[in-house]
Amino acid sequence: MPRVALHTLGCKLNYAETTTIGKQFIDRGFDIVPFGEETDVCVINTCSVTERADRECRQMIRRARRTSRDPFVVVTGCYAQLEPEEIASIEGVDLVLGAKEKFELFHHANDFRKGWYAKVCVSDIGSVDTFGPAFSTSATDRTRAYLKVQDGCDFNCTFCTIPLARGTSRSQSVGETLAQARMLVEGGYREIVLTGVNVGDYGKKSGTGLIGLLRELVQIDGLERLRISSIEPNLLSQEIIDFTAESPVMCNHFHIPLQSGNDQVLRGMRRRYTTRLYEDLIRRIRQRIPECGIGVDVIVGFPGETPAQFEETYRFLNEIPVSYLHAFTYSERPNTPAVSYTQPVEPRERFRRNAMIRVLGQKKKHSFYSSMIGRRLPVLTESECEGPFRFGLTDNYVRVGLPARVAENTVVATELTGMTDGYCVGVVAEKEMAG
SS (H, E, C) 406-423: ECCCCEEEEEEEEEECCE
Same topology between domain 3-127 and domain 376-432: no
The predicted-structure confidence for 335-391, as pLDDT tens digits, reads as follows 999 999 999 999 999 999 999 999 999 999 999 999 999 999 999 999 888 889 999
Does 131-251 carry CATH code 3.30.750.210? yes
Residue 218 to residue 429: CA distance in whole angstroms: 27
Q: Are 358 and 364 a contacting pair, CB within 8 Å?
A: no
Q: What is the pLDDT of residue 62?
A: 83
Q: What is the pLDDT of residue 140?
A: 46
The predicted-structure confidence for 242-267, as pLDDT tens digits, reads as follows 999 999 999 999 999 999 999 999 99
Q: In the chain, what percentage of residues exceed pLDDT 90? A: 69
Please check the confidence at residue 132 and state whether its pLDDT lies above 70. Answer: no
Element of type H or E holding 193 = strand 191-195
Please check the confidence at residue 141 and state whether its pLDDT lies above 80. Answer: no
Residue 223 to residue 228: CA distance in whole angstroms: 14
Beta bridge partners of 144: 191
Q: What is the pLDDT of residue 137?
A: 59
The predicted-structure confidence for 293-325, as pLDDT tens digits, reads as follows 999 999 999 999 999 999 999 999 999 999 999
CATH top class, domain 376-432: mainly beta
Which backbone phi and psi does 325 adopt, to 5 degrees? -130, 145
The three-state secondary structure class of 317 is: helix
Average confidence score pLDDT of the chain: 91
Q: Is residue 272 very low, low, confident or very high in pLDDT (cuts 50, 70, 90)?
A: very high
Q: Which residues of 279-296 are buried (b: 16+ CB within 10 A; e: fewer)?
A: bebbeebeeebebbbbbb
Better pLDDT: 90 or 137 = 90
Task: Enter the pTM of the model.
Answer: 0.89
Q: What is the pLDDT of residue 176?
A: 93
Which backbone phi and psi does 3 adopt, to 5 degrees? -120, 150
Residue ranges covered by each domain of the chain: 3-127, 131-251, 252-372, 376-432
Better pLDDT: 74 or 383 = 74
Q: Are 432 and 412 a contacting pair, CB within 8 Å?
A: yes
Which backbone phi and psi does 423 adopt, to 5 degrees? -145, 160
The predicted-structure confidence for 94-129, as pLDDT tens digits, reads as follows 999 998 898 899 999 988 988 888 899 998 887 777
Distance of CA 321 to the CA centre of its chain: 23
CATH number belonging to the domain at 3-127, selected among 3.30.470.10, 3.20.20.80, 3.40.50.12160, 3.40.228.10: 3.40.50.12160
The predicted-structure confidence for 193-233, as pLDDT tens digits, reads as follows 999 999 999 998 888 899 999 999 999 999 999 999 999 99
Please check the confidence at residue 67 and state whether its pLDDT lies above 90. Answer: no
User: Helical H runs in 258-386?
Assistant: 263-269, 275-288, 307-319, 347-372
Max Cα-Cα span within the chain: 64
Topology annotation, domain 252-372: Transcription Regulator spoIIAA (3.30.750)
Distance of CA 362 to the CA centre of its chain: 20
Q: What is the pLDDT of residue 429?
A: 73
Q: What is the per-residue DSSP string for 139-153? A: SS--SEEEEE-EE--
Residue 406 to residue 432: CA distance in whole angstroms: 6
Average pLDDT on 48-77 reads 81
Average pLDDT on 44-69 reads 80
Q: What is the pLDDT of residue 10?
A: 79
